[in-house]
Amino acid sequence: MDPESQRSYAELPSGEEAEEIHSNPTAVAENSRNRRIDLVLTLVGICCVAAGTFFWISLPSSNTENFLRIAPEGGFLASERTAFHFQPRNNWMNDPNGPLFHKGYYHLFYQYNPYGVEWGNISWGHAVSTDLLHWQHMDLAMQPDKWYDADGVWSGSATILPNGQVIMLYTGSTNASVQVQNLALPLNTSDPLLREWIKIPENPILVPPPGIAPKDFRDPTTAWLEADGLWRIAIGAKKGRAGLALIYKTFDFLHWELEEEYLHTVQGTGMWECIDFYPVSTATSNGLDTSKVQTNELTKHILKASLDDDKHDYYAIGLYSESSHTWIPDALDNDVGLGLRYDYGKYYASKTFFDSKHQKRILWGWANESDSLQDDIRKGWSSVQTLPRILYLDNLTGTNLIQWPIEEVEALRHDKVSRSNVLLKGGDVVEVDAAQGAQLDIEVGFEYPDASKLDALPESEIYDCSQGGATHRGVYGPFGLLVLAEDKLQEMTAVYFYMTLKRDGSWETRVCSDQSRSSLEPGIDTTVYGTLFHRLPTEDSLSLRVIVDHSIVETFVQGGRACITSRVYPTLATGDKARLFMFNNGTQPVFVKNLDAWKMRSTTLSVLPVTEWRLAARQS
Ligand code: DQQ
């Protein structure tokens, strides 16, 4: 390799300089002479940015607040738009991309079709926030305007170098539909809002290696730093029916070398999309920064793949070896694609990032619609992002992750309603008065039933939630909550527990989310989602947290050991007509130890076009 070309990103030009190099190579020679002028310009730039930022923060709320929350059409479709989940102003959205925290602002980029409610014309939408809940939409960060991404600016991830340089790696689908990897930089890294992005002249930086088909090479991870001083990324691929993660190393993000071994591969799992690979601490719930060397005896590594075949996000816990650059799962039967999922409902193409403000790892995931295309056209939008979730290893079990909504969500709560010590006999349905509304956060704890009190044990049973959903009558279960329920229960979404006796005489508990009676509208998805989850013998409660936001119901079980996201479309149980009930449809009584329900405030989604930002900065 030519030593002259060995520049690391620590010394590489800023975005502005890079663009200058692209358009005028002689500018490079002038570079050092212009340093002092640059400094002055930078200071002016910082002042402008600061002025722009101040302008935004001080904008009168009536200008912006929540107008993007109002759906363009009346009727029940209007009530489907969420109030505190992330959505673009309109049109199609899919994967979250390149989430990051930079100079006081969280950034979320996302796969976006600026021209319609279906997947296509894929560009990168961009929004900024100071709390991950209230968002300011920015101009598109990237559009398919180069030969190497003409067919779409597909998914990618951000890396923040120790010197603060932000690097965005993404997949371009070329004008010949070949999947290649590209690099983009902020035009001005000192801009906290990272308003403009440039694609570097060296693109594409990676093309499919021998043996990998041109359409099976996508979605670079965030780069992680290893003890040898090199950065590594993983990229999803497949060979035959084996899903796999390729691993590349680099010292400067321009020159890359493919490692001999795959990071990991699993037969029969098909194409791995949107791989995520990150360390978790076995000692604390704090997140770990991949821009620092992290592999030691107190870390495990999570490998996540989004399986193109079944559109679910699977993860596994394992050990990463910095000497072989391979990862081995702790449990072979829980390998990637075979066992654990982040979420057992509608949830795909997720991505984590390290939040340096709170020292936490945060997970974003995409929840697609499950209504019809016609409905999406009438609504004018399609898809939401689930609430950002803190993610860490469950140090009580050691065998699963914990996911929990970021703490800021609790600041949206108001008008708390509480119940405690409620006995629910078989067949009881009890309304939680004063907890009406389509925006709720509910926490409920049921006493874990004592099966030794049964007169006779039931037959062992196979139940995976789909047999009859919440109407199937068992011994202990279904019992739980009815959310977005209409007065006469013509519409309701049941989130509940169901216990089954296994052949070996032990009980196991499932959590289910039943969409089959969520809406009277015909033709929408009526799946009953569900999964088994861990309850430790020392835990005498079964707990649920259910967050309701018009057309999305996010459920967190047993403190976040399992999650289910449902998309639901009530026609009657909308707004204040939506009610909350506790229910027990099992034959045995169950006991509600405590229930707290809060109404939830809406968050702000607003748009201020870049041109206005510039104007504001100039005027001040
Ligand atoms: N979505 C992107 C791809 C990715 C897929 C294209 C996953 O990069 O593999 O929109 O949903």
Do 361 and 388 share a domain, yes or no?
yes
The chain-wide mean pLDDT, for the chain, equals 87
Do 374 and 462 share a domain, yes or no?
no
Distances from the Cα of 446 to the Cα of 53, 236, 311, 420, 423, angstroms: 47, 42, 32, 10, 10
Model confidence over 518-565: pLDDT tens digits?
999 998 999 999 999 999 999 999 999 999 999 999 999 999 999 999
Whether residue 616 is contained in a domain is answered as: no
Do 445 and 557 share a domain, yes or no?
yes
> Which among 178, 218, 221 is the best mutation to test ligand 1's pocket, defined by most ligand atoms within 8 Å of the CB?
218
How much distance in Å is there from the Cα of 147 to the middle of ligand 1?
Answer: 18
Whether residue 21 is contained in a domain is answered as: yes
Cβ atoms 564, 344 nearer than 8 A: yes
Contact residues for 154 (Cβ-Cβ < 8 A; gap 6+): 111, 122, 170, 171, 172, 173, 179, 218, 219
Residue among 166, 187, 175 nearest 17 (CA): 187
pLDDT of 187 > 60? The answer is yes
Whether residue 611 is contained in a domain is answered as: no
Q: What percent of the residues of the chain are helix, what percent strand, and what percent coil, each to the nearest 5? A: 15, 40, 45
Whether residue 11 is contained in a domain is answered as: yes
Do 221 and 278 share a domain, yes or no?
yes
Q: How many domains does the chain have?
A: 2
**pTM as predicted:** 0.88
Final residue belonging to a domain, choices 331, 365, 396: 396
Q: Is 95 in the pocket of ligand 1 (CB under 6 A)?
A: yes
Do 306 and 437 share a domain, yes or no?
no
Cβ atoms 392, 286 nearer than 8 A: yes
Residue bearing the CA closest to ligand 1, atom 10: 154
Model confidence over 265-306: pLDDT tens digits?
999 999 999 999 999 999 999 999 999 998 777 899 999 999
pLDDT of 377 > 50? The answer is yes
Do 558 and 585 share a domain, yes or no?
yes
Extract the tokens encoding 611: 């041109």
Model confidence over 54-64: pLDDT tens digits?
323 222 233 34
Distances from the Cα of 388 to the Cα of 14, 226, 486, angstroms: 30, 28, 29
Whether residue 372 is contained in a domain is answered as: yes
How much distance in Å is there from the Cα of 273 to the middle of ligand 1?
Answer: 7
Cβ atoms 83, 439 nearer than 8 A: yes
Do 365 and 486 share a domain, yes or no?
no
Whether residue 465 is contained in a domain is answered as: yes
CATH of the domain at 230: 2.115.10.20
Contact residues for 71 (Cβ-Cβ < 8 A; gap 6+): 77, 78, 79, 80, 81, 379, 380, 381
Whether residue 487 is contained in a domain is answered as: yes
Whether residue 497 is contained in a domain is answered as: yes
How much distance in Å is there from the Cα of 161 to the middle of ligand 1?
Answer: 25
> Which among 221, 272, 274, 383 is the best mutation to test ligand 1's pocket, defined by most ligand atoms within 8 Å of the CB?
274
CA 429 to the chain's CA centroid: 34
Atom of ligand 1 nearest to the CA of 273: 9
Extract the tokens encoding 452: 């030794």
How much distance in Å is there from the Cα of 567 to the middle of ligand 1?
Answer: 20
Do 355 and 447 share a domain, yes or no?
no
How much distance in Å is there from the Cα of 153 to the middle of ligand 1?
Answer: 9
How much distance in Å is there from the Cα of 455 to the middle of ligand 1?
Answer: 54
Task: Name residue 444's beta-bridge partners.
Answer: 544, 595
Do 497 and 446 share a domain, yes or no?
yes
165 — pLDDT class (breaks 50, 70, 90): very high
Q: Is 383 in the pocket of ligand 1 (CB under 6 A)?
A: no
- Strand order from edge to edge, sheet including 493-501: 429-431, 579-584, 479-485, 493-501, 507-514, 528-532
> What's the pLDDT score for residue 421?
98
Sign of CA dihedral 532, 533, 534, 540: negative
Model confidence over 34-89: pLDDT tens digits?
322 232 223 323 333 333 333 232 222 333 444 555 544 455 677 899 999 999 98
Do 380 and 495 share a domain, yes or no?
no
Final residue belonging to a domain, choices 345, 370, 396: 396
Q: Is 94 in the pocket of ligand 1 (CB under 6 A)?
A: yes
Q: Is 179 in the pocket of ligand 1 (CB under 6 A)?
A: no
CA 451 to the chain's CA centroid: 38
Q: Is 307 in the pocket of ligand 1 (CB under 6 A)?
A: no
Q: Is 274 in the pocket of ligand 1 (CB under 6 A)?
A: yes
Q: Is 155 in the pocket of ligand 1 (CB under 6 A)?
A: yes
Residue bearing the CA closest to ligand 1, atom 6: 154
Residue among 428, 482, 421, 477 nearest 449 (CA): 477
Q: Which domain holds residue 117?
A: 3-50+93-396
Q: Is 154 in the pocket of ligand 1 (CB under 6 A)?
A: yes
CA 558 – CA 538 distance, rounded (Å): 13
How much distance in Å is there from the Cα of 155 to the middle of ligand 1?
Answer: 6
> Which among 91, 93, 94 is the best mutation to test ligand 1's pocket, defined by most ligand atoms within 8 Å of the CB?
94
CA 332 – CA 317 distance, rounded (Å): 10
Catalytic residue annotation: 95
CATH of the domain at 538: 2.60.120.560
Residue bearing the CA closest to ligand 1, atom 7: 349
> Which among 123, 149, 154, 169 is the best mutation to test ligand 1's pocket, defined by most ligand atoms within 8 Å of the CB?
154
> What's the pLDDT score for residue 583?
98
> What's the pLDDT score for residue 79?
86
Q: Strands 479-485 and 384-385: what pairing? A: unpaired
